[in-house]
Amino acid sequence: MKKSLCEPIAIAPNLVALDPIKQPTSIPRIIDFSVTTDSIIACATIVVDAPTRLIRIDWGDGQADTLRLLPGFLVIDQLSLGDNPLEPGTYQFEHEYDLPEEVEPFPRLVIARVDEFNGNVDFRQQWVNIAPKYKVNHYASRVILNDDLEPFWESVTELNIRMKVGGDTLINWANDVSFLPANGFKLNGSQLEHIFDLGDEDANTNAPRIHYHVWDADATDDDDYYFNTSMVPQAGALSADVSEEILLQPSGYSGAGIQTVLVKFWKEVRLLKPRKNQSNAVFAPANSPVGPVA
C-alpha cells in the first residue's frame, strides 16, 4: 500500500499530531573537475549536478577563491567565454601564480570544495605543473660601420649583409655604399618573435640561433665579419620584464680597439600572463533559485 506523506501519531486519547515524512534532498556532487595551465595562469573548471551554496578553490600557494551563492539573488544566465558558452552547473576560476625566487617550473596541488545548503561537502584535487612562458622580441637589426671596408682610394664599398635564422637565410642585403650613416644600415624584415617555454626540456636548444655575415664583395676573406646570438633570454630576464639594446661584437673579437663593424638591435623579454577573463570566476549555475554574491 502506498504510504501517505503524513502519518498520524497518537499522543493523547483526543489529540493527533501529524509528523511529515522527509523527502530526499539532492546533494551537489562534483561530476567533473579539471585544471589547465598556460604559463603562470591556471584555469580550474568544476561541474556540479545540483545547486550549491559555496565553491572554493585552493590553489596550493596559500591563496584561494571562494564563490558564495545565497537565496534571494538574481539568477545569472549562461555566461559566454568567447564562442563557447558555459553549460549549467559549470564554474571556472582563474589564478595567477607568483614566480618562485629561482625561476623554473614548479608543482602545485589544486583542491576544489563544494558545500551544499544542508552542510554536505564534496572534494576533488589535481596536481598541476606551472611552467612560465616568455615572449622574446628581437627588433630590427642595424649594421654599423665605424670605418670604410675599402682602402682610402676607393670611394664606394660593395657592402653585403646576410642574416640567417636557424640555418635559413632571412635577409640578403647588398648595396653600393658611398657614405657611413651614423645610425647604421637598418635590415628591414629582420624583426623576430619567439615563445620561450620553461616547460620544454629543450627550450634552449629550440630557441632560434641568429647569425650575421658582413663583408665587402671586393675584399679578401680577412675582411669578413661574423656575429652570433640567439633568442634564449638571459637568466636575469626571467624574473622581470626586460628591454635592452644589444651590441654584438664580431666573432673572435679580442676586446682591443674600436671594431670596424658592429651589429645592434633591441631585445625584449616579457613574461606571458594569458588570462581569459577579467574576473577570477565566471559561471552558469545549476538550475536553482540562487545567484551570485560579490
What are the structural domain ranges in the chain?
Answer: 25-132+274-292, 135-271
**Residue 294: per-residue pLDDT:** 33
- Of the candidate CATH numbers 2.40.160.20, 2.60.40.10, 2.40.50.140, 1.10.3720.10, the domain formed by 25-132+274-292 belongs to 2.60.40.10
C-alpha cell at 70: 545565497
From the CB of residue 193, how many other CB atoms can be counted at a distance below 10 Å?
12
Mode of pairing for the β-strands spanning 54-58 and 64-71: antiparallel
Residue with cell 640561433: 209
CATH topology of domain 135-271: Immunoglobulin-like (2.60.40)
Per-residue pLDDT of the chain (294 residues; tens, 9 = 90+): 555 555 555 555 566 665 655 555 555 688 999 999 999 999 999 998 877 888 999 999 999 999 887 655 444 444 544 556 778 888 899 999 999 988 999 999 999 999 887 778 899 999 999 999 999 999 999 998 877 666 555 667 788 899 999 989 999 998 887 777 888 899 999 999 999 999 999 999 999 999 999 988 776 656 788 999 999 998 777 888 899 999 998 887 665 556 788 999 999 999 999 988 766 777 776 654 333 333
CA gap 132, 104 in Å, rounded: 7
Q: Do the domains 135-271 and 25-132+274-292 match in fold?
A: yes
Dist CA 292 CA 28 (whole Å): 17
pLDDT at 154: 63
Core vs surface per residue 78-101: b (16+ CB within 10 A) or e: ebeeeeeebeebbbbbbbebeeee
pTM: 0.78
